[in-house]
Structure 1
Amino acid sequence: MEWLAIILSIITVGFMFWFFSTTKKALKLGQPAPEFNLTDQSGKTHTLADFQGKWLALYFYPKDDTPGCTKQACSFRDDLQQLTDLGAKVIGVSVDDTNSHAEFSKKFHLQFPLLADTTTETAARYHSLINLGIIKFAKRNTFLINPHGKIARMYLSASAARNSSEIIADLKQLQAM
């Protein structure tokens, strides 16, 4: 019976951390995307300003080399030429370190940067951080940022399987306007 109380307490505390990490003021379409300055799997630093004049699919994902994250990354890999043809770049972000990103990228032949947000500051600015105290990871959220650095679309709790194709469809629609 004591174990049940302990388990329920842990679940309650976890829910509270999750709830308060998701109830911050939300980002809005059309607002400037939050800045970032992060290192990728090759040691290169990337900032939002680097993508000025291009569309950017900035996707946050929980953990390297897990089933959903692998499916999402491989979908972006497989659709990368279509995204490039539409003038878009792709960047993945998680709280994993650059070594983990390098292994993940090599294992699945990912040809786009995976940024290491080890301080969790960028995920927090994009309201894409789950903070359970000592355990932190990124939510599966994606932001389509226009060539002027503004948020054009948000995919909150994005589908790992459909995220890339949704972005392609939205890019076609946005560019036709």
Structure 2
Amino acid sequence: MTKLTEGNLAPDFSGKNQFGKEISLADFKGKRLVLYFYPKDNTPGCTAEACNLNDNYETFLAKGYEVVGVSPDSQKSHQNFAKKYGLRFNLISDPEKSILENYGVWGEKKMYGKSYMGVLRTTFIINEKGIIEKIIEQVDTKNHTDQILG
């Protein structure tokens, strides 16, 4: 997969959200989209990021954005995560990692000197025409809204 850059057409995607509803890029035509990829439900960094976005969800809507999170977790995991923290946006389950791979965010990570494959926490801001406007690779989980709107 070629690394996506700002100005690229966002790859199409389709997956089931926490309620089993099919969500695709086409659903957001004419809207701006915050598409964020995160490693795992209920982990400290992922929870901080989701809660920061959720706390500012009305601001995103007011500015014409929709927010969608994607991780390899199951629909059930997403459902529990969203319910536990009152998340008001879609969380797409991608256990096959097809969306993750199309966006180039499934890759090699290192922890404690060991290499493993995982989700590279990344956020894509996609405009009304489906063009990637901004890519945030160094995500500040506690202040992510400021990174997106700043």
Q: 1:15-54 maps to which residues of 2 (within 5 A)?
A: 25-54=2-31
Structure 2 stretches of 5 or more lacking a match? 110-115
Runs of 4+ in 1 over 3 A off after TM superposition: none
Equivalence for 1:75: 52
2:30 equivalent to 1:56: no
Q: 1:151 aligns with which of 114, 132, 138?
A: 132
Equivalence for 1:84: 61
- Indicate conservation of the 8 Å contact 1:63/1:137, yes or no: no
- Report the alpha carbon displacement of residue 136 of structure 1 after superposing the two structures with TM: 4.7
Deviation digits for residues 23-42 of structure 1 (CA, Å, limit 9, x no counterpart) = x5321111110111100001
Structure 1 stretches of 5 or more lacking a match? 1-23, 170-177
Q: Larger Cα Rg: Structure 1 or Structure 2? A: 1
Deviation digits for residues 121-177 of structure 1 (CA, Å, limit 9, x no counterpart) = 110111111358xx75321100000000010000013121122222122xxxxxxxx
Aligned residue type for 2:129? H
Equivalence for 1:120: 97
Q: 1:140 aligns with which of 111, 121, 128?
A: 121
| Rounded Cα–Cα distance in structure 1 between residues aligned with 2:67 and 2:129 | 16
Q: TM-score, normalised by structure 1?
A: 0.78
Structure with greater proportional helix content: 1
Q: Judge which range, 114-123 or 157-166, deviates more.
A: 157-166
Equivalence for 1:12: none
Aligned residue type for 1:151? I
